[in-house]
Structure 1
Amino acid sequence: MRTPDIVLPPGVVAHFGDSAQQVALDLADTVAKFLEGRLLKAERVSLAVSGGFTPVPFFQALSLKQLDWGRVDILLADERWVDEADLASNTRLVKENLLRNNAAAARYFALKQNGNTPEEGLDAVKAELEALTLPLDVLILGMGNDGHTASLFPDAPELVCAMDTQCQHLVAAMSSPSLEQQRITLTYALMDNARFTALHLRGDDKLETLKLAISQPEDLLAMPVRGFMKPGLQVFWSP
């Protein structure tokens, strides 16, 4: 296996593999074991996932795990404000790849609700999440080449509020010049309290972005993913 040339911060655990499929299976095993342990202690558990191409094999592998899925709450870390039928919908992606097989019994919380904009639908989203099991048990994040994670984009005018560690809201509406669609995202304060957090990455470009994020860890607003670079984070990466 090729060993990536990167030194992660103290307490951040590396899971590097030769193939995306291998790393996806490792992540599915790790998440399933963590959720299984939590289900021995809690009535319900929660799992927040991210959209995009990278997590698809992870979703498919996790959906086959033998868990008491009826006691698992699943939601997205962020969502594009588009109808579920739209190919850009992360909800569509999750339903087609994760909420199937054994995981079809899980309870899903949709971030996209009625309303022409995230601002219009914000109250409905908050109402949807009232029954969500908190704090989050498992949070799976991705990362863009600009250092965003979830929909915490560096150029979003709402970023300062969404990254506020004292924020009492679970979600925030997000817009930015770099976005094709408006978004809604879990807030940093909510995600930062997750019991288990993994960063799931693929490609050398993401490795370079990660190096840049690590090099200046204090500037969170420039690269919001830096907010999660702390002991306990587990990084799953493949070429």
Structure 2
Amino acid sequence: MSLVLPLRLLLLGAPGSGKGTQTSRLLKRFSNLHSLSSGDILRAQIAAKSEVGNKAAEFIKNGKLVPDSTMVELINTELELRGWLNEASSWILDGFPRTRTQAEALRKVLIPRKATVNMVVELDVDQNVILERIEARWVHVPSGRVYNLDYNPPKVPFKDDITGEPLTKRSDDTAEVFQKRLDQYNLELGPLKEFYRDLGVLHRVSGNTSDTIYPKLERLILEKDKKNDI
């Protein structure tokens, strides 16, 4: 089905909260909704050696974070290339903005084009559950297929279902390492939520599995769309 009103959605959620899964399900549900992944775009622009890609690559090469201004330029450039910088487009931003500074800068870019983010949803997942998931997560690196020993185990222990090749444990898929990512996320979340709450677009859905969260997320979007309240 298609949404009646344009939806420009940002999903907030801790690493491991299932933002990618929710995005995939929303794209299947709503035919006029598209997604933009900041990580994918960054890698593509670096590979293409574009002006903004070269800027980003220089920071990464020197072990520095890509500055907010460069990330905003990256997203803005991609939205423009895709023809989505207008009030009629519907899209989900994946992975950006992550801080209030980024959100403020992005809004300044989007306001003149009437393409501002008009719905922000926090995926509220118990972080202890996230850590348990991470400890049980294994991947098939060549394909990117992800398994979880608790709820999505491989047919043969520690072997990829398709190729039979060994699965790998990522170096950062441990509770100790992942907790640092969660701590950083928690530090940044408060000001980011406050920014979008003040704009009147912040919502929250809670649950500890994707199957619990998704129906709530879809219902929220449909209700807002029906009421012409996006």
Q: TM-score, normalised by structure 1?
A: 0.32
Larger strand share, 1 or 2: 1
Larger helix share, 1 or 2: 2
If you compute each CA radius of gyration, which structure gives the higher value, 1 or 2?
A: 2
